[in-house]
Amino acid sequence: MALTVEDGTGLTDADSFVSVAECDAYHLARGNTTWTGSDSLKEAALRRASLFLSNAYPWQGWQFRPRLQALAWPRGGVVDQDGFDVRSDEVPVEIRHATCEVALRELVSPGAMNPDVTTAETVKSVTAGSVSVQFANAGPGAGANRPTLLVVRDLIAGLLRTGSGGLFGRAARV
């Protein structure tokens, strides 16, 4: 099945933020030699990466075509970390690059970004003699068991929703 890349119009059938060719170029430029294999495996990894990015983060703004578009981007009402408006008819470069980073992990280990977790079986602490260790990620939610890719977090940080109001708003450069 051919990959349908979001073109900034809020496609109802988009299943990736980037094409295989764009992701190939991204990884080639960075020397990521593990981005290898058939186009069909790469397409599957890009689909999983785009779905993960669409659902795992609280994005600023609103979808360009709410309830109709397949992926979280494009969006309106988004201001980047430097205070510039993000066009509502684009998938920002930060999202495209983050998709390539997540897709690399998904290609190497399919399902890595959305592991199956049984929270009732999560080890919360261990005691051996007089030494006891409590694990920080032993919270009740499955989200605590998702890997955190610092490169992805750093790429998308300026596009995430922050706080819920306060004394100060956000300014946008035009």
User: How far is the C-alpha of 110 from the C-alpha of 44, rounded, in Å?
Assistant: 9
Q: Which of 40-44, 75-79, 131-135, 148-152 has the lowest mean pLDDT?
A: 131-135
Each residue of 82-98: pLDDT tens digit?
Answer: 999 999 999 999 999 99
Each residue of 19-76: pLDDT tens digit?
Answer: 999 999 999 999 999 999 999 999 999 999 999 999 999 999 999 888 899 999 999 9
Q: Are 80 and 11 in contact (CB under 8 A)?
A: no
For 68, residues 6+ apart whose C-beta sits below 8 A from its C-beta are 10, 12
User: Cα separations (Å) of 75 from 6, 27, 65, 92, 109?
Assistant: 12, 26, 8, 10, 30
Domain ranges of the chain: 1-112+148-174, 117-146
Write down the pTM of the prediction.
Answer: 0.80
Between 171 and 23, the more confident residue is 23
pLDDT above 90 covers a percentage of the chain that reads 67
Identify the band that residue 166 occupies on the pLDDT scale cut at 50, 70 and 90: very low
User: How far is the C-alpha of 5 from the C-alpha of 10, rounded, in Å?
Assistant: 10
